[in-house]
Every structure is written in C-alpha cells, then in structure tokens.
Amino acid sequence: MLIKPKGTHDIYGLEAKKWNYVNGVIADLMSKYNYDYIRTPIFEASEVFHRGVGETTDIVTKETYDFVDRGDRNMTLRPEGTAGVVRSYIENKMYGDAVQPTKVYYNGTMYRYERPQSGRDRELTQFGVEVLGCDEAIIDAEVISIPVNLFKTLGLQEVKVNINTLGDKESRDNYRRALIDYFKPHINCLCEDCQERYQKNPLRILDCKVDADSEIIKNAPITIDYLNEESKKRFDEVKKYLTLLEVDYEVNTRLVRGLDYYNHTVFEIEAKVDGFGSNNVLAGGGRYNGLVDLLGGPPTPGIGFALGMGRLMMALDLEKIALPIDDGLDAYIMYVSQSEKEYAMSLAQDLRMNGYKVDMEYMGRSLKSQFKQADRLKSRHLIILNEEEMQNDVIKIKDNVTKEETLVGIDYILYYFEEKTSLEEVSDKDLEKYLEKEEE
C-alpha cells in the first residue's frame, strides 16, 4: 500500500473544516490590521536560507530538504517563512512602495527534515507576519498582539506570552562575550549539549532543559544588564505599549531564540494546556534589523513572528474549543425511481443556485438508508420525491426537526425554503395565501 511520507498528514473531513475555519479567522483578522497576504515560493535557491536563517543554525545545517533541479540549481524547500519574504521584499523593491511600512502575512507549508513527534512534523503549516521598514517600538507591540488576539478570538485561554530583548548589535555582542567569560570556568559542569552550545551559540545555554535548575545558569548574566541606554529605553517602550494593548506578558530573561537573525525584541507564546507535549511553543518571533541588509537589500529594520498551525489546532482540540463549523444541510433529496432521480438532480441544482446547501441520494439505495444518510448529514429538511405526488404537482418536504411533513406545490419549493429558513414556522395557510396571491 502506498502511504504518505513520514511526518506528513492528510487533512480531510472535519479536520479540514476546522483548518478552513481558522484560516478564515486569520484572513479576517489580518484584513482588520491591514496586513496584506503574500505568497512566496515553497522552494527557493538554497542560498536564501543559508544566508537568511544562518549557517550555524540546526535548521539549516541538518533539517533542510535540499535538492538539485534538472538545471543543476541548488534548491531548498523552505524551512521557515521569513527569509523568503525578505528575499521577495528586496527583489520587488517594496522598500520603494508609497505605503510604508510594509506589513504582510503568509500562511503556508514549511519543510524540515526532523524526527516527527508530538507537535512536530516534516511538513508543517505556519501563519506568520512580517513588518519591514519600521523600527518603532510601537510596531513590536502590535506584532506581538496579533497572535495574542488571534488566540483570544478563537477562545484559546491557556497561553503565556514571554518576552525578552537581546538589545542592538553592540549590546548583543557585549552580552555574548560576558556569557562566554562567565561559563568558561563552569563548562565542565554543564551537560554535553551545553558544551556544544558553548562553542556554537552560547546564548542557547540559557534555555537548556537539562541544566535549567542548576545554579550556574540561574546566576548567569542576564541580557538586561548588558543593554546600552538606547536598547534599554526601547525595551521599556515595547513593554509600555504592550500594557496599553492589555497584552498579559512576562519578561523572561532566559528567552533567547535559535535563529541568528534576531536582535532587540524576542518573544514566544506557549500553550499551557494539559496534555500538550514538550513542543508547546505556539508562536515565536522577534526583531531582525540586520536581515534585509544581509540578504542584499538596503539596511531595513524588520520584525515578525511565525505561528505553528498544527500546534494551534492541537491546542484548540485539547481545550475542547468548539469551532462554529458550517455543518449540516438545508435539504437532502430522496427518491427511488428513475424519473424521480432525474427530477432530484435538477431540483438540487435549482436550490443550490439559489443559495441553499443541498445534497441528494446518488446510488439508489433503499429509502431506509436514505433517511439514515440524511440524518448523518444533519439535513434540516428532507425532500421525498414521489411520482404520484409529482403528477399532482406537489412535493413532500419533511422538516427533520419538527418532523412535520408538508405537501408543497411543485413550483413553490423555493418559497417554502425562503420562508421556512428565515421564519420559524410557516403554516399551510400561509402557503395557501401565497398561492392565491400568485394566482391573482
């Protein structure tokens, strides 16, 4: 049997309806914030990610899907969204657009060659936002508020917003040096992974799980102490605006992020839901003022976040949040004979073109099965075709909630649905009156 590749999922049925609903909520929310949708290629020249995400990051060194195309070009399936968006920003000279800053969002699949586990797949979907060309603290707060408000809109309560700052380049470099000096004498007391981190990315030692409780890490220098005046002021401003937006956040001085391009504000939003695995970060992001420059554009500030859609869906499920999925039918058309079948089909088309959600029997099963099917499809009305009744120009419609059956004139089916679906009840008398009026 053919099976899907490791770490991928087929989304269909109810699950697909949920995704569509959430995607709709996102599109709606982004429209209100006036962020434009951007769609960039799923694969890019490998260089885009090597330069953009960082040569030393795990994402680039061991997790990319690389391939050489038939024209001998080195290509990579995108492992994240920012690098591609920034490449597009530069290539399309969006920095020259009349409207500034550039505010965009994407919602698409990413690919990472990883060992799948809870909350982690090889094909993942991320919704993300990027704002380019604005270095104001106010925009940092707005960007952080977007996922927070999305969760609020969806009814997801149990989340925690962590923020921190890495400061500008000068502050970050000072801090990095301080950490290296601090850890140097303790290096042998740290776990194996941390010893490696010490070489590659000392900042990451801070959020090590193994050594989290060790005094060495607890007493490590914190970023705030190494910020220059400007960076400190900036961070205070971000916090002020977050308070203004009523975003409930916590400063976590140990929060650093793995991607090389971050500076100043960084943040993560965790799910605090029972039953969530260890991969509980729903969204994460930060400021990347050097990235546009790095990828060959004019020096341009930027900030963004990415949100894991699969993890979001998992959180919604675990929290048992009922999404208002468009479910059920207005009518299900049932029949037995061939002539009824033909009428059923044209009636279905007629109702559908008039805006009703209609399904019908296709396979000529027993009437009993058709009733069952209609129930499964949660159909509000059952249209039961009968040759004899049709010869008398009437059709039987059963309201599947009240169980009331009505014989409706064959030319007045639409009227029945208009009234019946907008008003709670329409009596036979109403219909008679309507018919009389029509005749006049």
Partner RNA sequence: GCGGUAUUGGUGAAGUGGUUAACACGCCGGAUUGUGGCUCCGGUAUGCAUGGGUUCGAUCCCCAUAUUCCGCCCCA
Q: Which of residues 260-289 bind RNA (CB under 7 A)?
A: 268, 277-279, 281-284
The answer to whether 435 contacts RNA (rule: CB under 7 A) is: no
Closer to RNA by Cβ: residue 9 or 232:
9
Interface with RNA, residue 229, by CB under 7 A: no
267-278 core/surface letters (b: 16 or more CB in 10 A; e: else): bbbbbebeebee
Within residues 174-203, the interface with RNA by CB under 7 A covers 193, 197
**DSSP states along 315-347:** HHHHTT-------SEEEEEE--SHHHHHHHHHH
Per DSSP bridges, beta strands 405-409 and 65-68 are unpaired
Q: Which of 368, 437 has the CB closer to RNA?
A: 368
12/437 with CB nearer RNA: 12
Cα–Cα distance for residue pair 16/18, rounded to 1 Å:
5
Task: Return the H-helix or E-strand segment holding 147.
Answer: helix 137-154
Could you count the other beta carbons within 10 Å of the beta carbon of residue 324? 7
Tell whether residue 385 is a contact of RNA (CB under 7 A).
yes
Decide if residue 142 touches RNA (CB under 7 A): no
User: Smallest distance from the beta carbon of 368 to RNA, in angstroms?
Assistant: 5
Give the one residue of 92, 117, 199, 243 binding RNA; rule: CB under 7 A. Answer: 117
Binding segment (CB under 7 A) for RNA, from list 161-169, 217-225, 375-383, 421-429:
375-383
Cα 23 from chain centroid? 6
Pick out residues in 317-346 that bind RNA (CB under 7 A). 334-337, 340
* Residues in region 4-33 near RNA by CB under 7 A: 5-8
Shortest Cβ 436–RNA spacing (Å): 26
CB of 224 to RNA, least distance (A): 21
Instruction: Please state, in angstroms and rounded to a whole number, the distance separating the CA atoms of residues 339 and 210.
Output: 73
Token pair in block for residue 267: 């943040």
Comparison of 302 and 310: residue with beta carbon closer to RNA: 310
CA 223 to chain centre: 31
Q: What is the dihedral of CA 49, 50, 56, 61, to 10 degrees?
A: 80
Task: Assess 83 for contact with RNA (CB under 7 A).
Answer: no
Query: Considering beta carbons, is residue 142 or 340 the nearer one to RNA?
Result: 340
Of the residues 17, 33, 222, 258, which one makes contact with RNA according to CB under 7 A:
258
